[in-house]
Amino acid sequence: MARDEPSEVVDLAARLRLTWLVERYPQRLVMGAFAFLNGLLTIGILAIVAMVTDTPSLFPSLGPTAFLLFSTPMLASACPRNTVEGHLIGVVAGYLSLVLFGLTDNPATIIEGVTAGRVGAAALSLALTSGFMVWLQRAHPPAGATTLIISLGILHEVWQLGVLMFAVVLMVLQAFAINRLAGLDYPRWAPAVAPEVGGSRS
């Protein structure tokens, strides 16, 4: 087995009884295949849900969320808490911006065009999302796309926002099941606390 293989990749392969993969192929190829298959499965399930229910349960910001959940699952930004609450911050900020600029009943920007009010709503929604994710320590970059989806009017009805959050929760549940089955210590909710640097040694 190559000495430069990250322990996370080796542990994953061992728990899946696929150590021969990391012995034979580069770890980037193995982890890329893992991300590929799980992204395909997860987005495929949500696409089927959207098709069967005729609801907006599939939207662009789920793409980068899927990448985080399956390519870098141990990062704080990929934990269930940050994923769910980050998107929720984006949803609230986006809808609040629509309300403040009187755009809740307006058609989407791609239909209506860019107006001064839409510029203000988009800018405010992203500012609020970025600020609150930092202030509350709930960083999840794809939430920046979620808030723009709303403030640009692509999704703007309350029931659509509920479906959006349902899709996020469903994706997190899939990520938890898949990552745990793969043997990764994916957090139940909050990210694992990193050990202190320079702490006392036993």
Predicted confidence (pLDDT) at residue 159 exceeds the cutoff of 70: yes
Tell me what the mean pLDDT of segment 128-139 comes to.
97
Token pair belonging to 56: 């907006």
Lowest average pLDDT, out of 19-28, 54-63, 87-96, 156-165, goes to: 19-28
Cβ(153)–Cβ(103) below 8 Å = yes
Map residue 11 onto helix, strand or coil. helix
Using a pLDDT cut of 70, give the percent of the chain over it.
83
Map tokens 């190829």 to a residue: 29
Question: Which stretches within the chain are classed as H helix?
Answer: 7-15, 19-24, 27-53, 62-71, 80-100, 109-112, 116-135, 143-151, 158-181
Tell me what the mean pLDDT of segment 167-182 comes to.
91
Whole-structure pTM value: 0.82
Across 56-60, 153-157, 194-198, the highest mean pLDDT is recorded for 153-157
| Band of residue 196 on the pLDDT scale cut at 50, 70, 90 | very low
Per-residue pLDDT at 16: 56
